[in-house]
C-alpha cells in the first residue's frame, strides 16, 4: 500500500469535524523535520503547523472510541486545477 501524501490546497476534515485547508509542507531550518502548514476554514481562519507524520496519522481509537474517521485529517476535496 502506498503511503498517504498531503495534497497542497486540499481541504481536510479533522476527526473532530472542523475543516482546514493544507497550505504547504515546511521544513524546520535546524532539525530538518517536516511540518504541515494548514489553515482553519472557520472562525478567525487561524494558521497552524503540525508535524508531518502526526497530520497524516490515524485517530487514536483507544482515546477516541466513538470516532468513525480513520485518519486524524481526511482529504475531502482536492484543489481545483
Complete DSSP assignment for 8-70: TT-EEEETTS-EEEEEEEEE-TTT--EEEEEEESSTT--EEEEEHHHHTSBP-TTTSTT---S
Q: Which three cell numbers stand for residue 80?
A: 481545483
Q: What pLDDT is stored for residue 4 in this prediction?
A: 85
Q: How far apart are CA 3 and CA 71, in angstroms?
A: 13
Q: Is the confidence at residue 12, as pLDDT, over 90?
A: yes
DSSP 76: E
Q: Is the confidence at residue 22, as pLDDT, over 90?
A: yes
pLDDT tens column, 47-58 = 999 999 999 999
pTM: 0.90
Contact 12, 5 (CB under 8 A): no
Q: What pLDDT is stored for residue 2 in this prediction?
A: 60
Domains, the chain, in order of start with CATH, read 11-77 (2.30.30.320)
pLDDT tens column, 24-33 = 999 999 999 9
Q: What pLDDT is stored for residue 80 in this prediction?
A: 78
Amino acid at each position: 500500500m502506498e503511503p498517504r501524501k498531503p495534497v497542497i490546497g486540499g481541504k481536510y476534515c479533522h476527526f473532530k469535524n472542523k475543516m482546514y485547508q493544507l497550505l504547504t509542507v515546511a521544513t524546520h531550518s535546524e532539525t530538518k523535520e517536516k511540518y504541515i502548514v494548514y489553515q482553519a476554514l472557520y472562525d478567525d481562519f487561524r494558521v497552524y503547523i503540525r508535524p508531518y507524520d502526526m497530520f497524516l496519522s490515524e485517530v487514536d481509537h483507544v482515546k477516541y472510541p466513538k470516532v468513525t474517521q480513520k485518519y486524524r485529517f481526511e482529504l475531502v476535496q482536492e484543489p481545483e486545477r
